[in-house]
Each structure stands twice: as C-alpha cells, then as structure tokens.
Amino acid sequence: MEGGHFWYYVLPLYFLATLLVGATLGGAMAPSPLSLEDGVRAWRPQQGDILHVNTEENLGYLIHPDGRRFVFRVATGQKRAVRYIGLSYFAATPEGNWVVKSHHIQGDRITYGPEGHFLRMYKNLDEYSHYGIHTHASADSMLREKDRYASMGCVIVSDAILDLLERTYVLNGQLLVVTASGPPEYLLAMGK
C-alpha cells in the first residue's frame, strides 16, 4: 500500500485504539460533556487529543485519549455549489480523516477572523487541501444559527475554541481530525 492509502485505513483504527485504551484505563466513567464556558476554562490539551466534527449536527468534539470530551458548536460548508478563490465546487465540508500539519496567518480578516489564524487540514495525513479550521468576522452570529452551514467548506469555530485547537496542535505537533455526518460512534460504542 502506498503511504497515503495506508494512513487512510490506519488513522481511524488509531483513533479507536486510543479511545478504547483510555476507556480501559478509567475513561468509561468519564464525566459528561462540558458546557462551552466551563469547557473553555477547564479543558487542558493533552497528548493524543483528536477533533471529531459532526457535519450533520455541526458539533465539534474535542476528545482526550481517555474518552473525556468537550462538545461545542461549529459551522461547516454550505450545501450548495459555490465559486470562491477562483474555484468552482460543492461547498459542503468533505467527510474524511485529516491532520492539521501547519498554522498560517491569513491577511483576510473577514474570512479568517480578527487575527487571521488558519489551521490547514491535510487529507489522509499527506494530501494538501484548501480546507482548514479558523474563525470568521461573523463567527458569533454563524454559531448562533440553528443549522450552521455557512462556510465555503472549512470548519468555523469561535475564537476561544480556535485557541484551544491551536494549543492542542502545538502540544502534539499536529491535530488529528475526523469529519463525518454523525457523532463519534467510537464514543457511543463506549457508552459516552
């Protein structure tokens, strides 16, 4: 198997194994999800944390290896055809396994928020993409909406959540991300 294809199959197994080991070591009795205010204040990035983005309900799950998680609102791609940055495409956030491998400061303070921070997501560990995680000048109003399909394909988060994700990325040297149309089933299987 070539390198990229290998990781396509191994990455979900890594996520599952990490969480199952955590459950065996005491994660099965982990507390229920934290509220946004409590979570931002209390959450401490750890080695092995992953981000699961549920594109059906537009919720993010920041998950520790022991199964504890912090659930928060996200905005994902509009479910329609768009023309943006010279590309024409269907803007729904694609499902898949990703890794954040780089952090950028973008000049566009509307699209990327007041500080321009952008965490670039690579598909299957090594395929460059235009997708990433960032905030937006209108993130607060986007995140208050019911359905939250507002981006051009990226994952939009609040400033506070972006700060947590950036700290997680720095601690781990990367950030593993799963985008899927549903909650993290590996947590449901563990009774979380």
Give the amino acid at 152.
M
Distance from C-alpha of 172 to C-alpha of 177, rounded to nearest angstrom? 13
Q: Which pLDDT belongs to residue 185? A: 75
Which numeric CATH code is attached to 3-183?
2.40.440.10
CA-based nearest residue to 76, from 60, 89, 64, 63: 60
- Average pLDDT score over the chain: 83
CA-based nearest residue to 12, from 133, 102, 124, 93: 124
| pLDDT exceeds cutoff 80 at 69 | yes
Distance from C-alpha of 15 to C-alpha of 127, rounded to nearest angstrom? 19
Token pair listed for 151: 């981006």
Beta bridge partners, 133, equal 119, 155
Q: What is the pLDDT of residues 154-181, one digit of tens each?
A: 999 999 999 999 999 999 999 999 999 9
Which one has a higher pLDDT value, 12 or 1? 12
Q: Which pLDDT belongs to residue 11? A: 54
| pLDDT exceeds cutoff 90 at 8 | no
Domain definitions of the chain by residue range: 3-183
Cβ atoms of 180 and 54 closer than 8 Å: yes
Give the amino acid at 136.
H
Average pLDDT over residues 72-85: 93
Q: What is the pLDDT of residues 110-119, one digit of tens each?
A: 888 888 899 9
Q: Which pLDDT belongs to residue 108? A: 78
* Number of residues assigned to the chain: 192
Which one has a higher pLDDT value, 189 or 66? 66
Alpha-helical (H) ranges within 25-58 are: 36-42
Give residue 186's pLDDT band: very low, low, confident or very high (50, 70, 90): low
Cβ atoms of 93 and 179 closer than 8 Å: yes
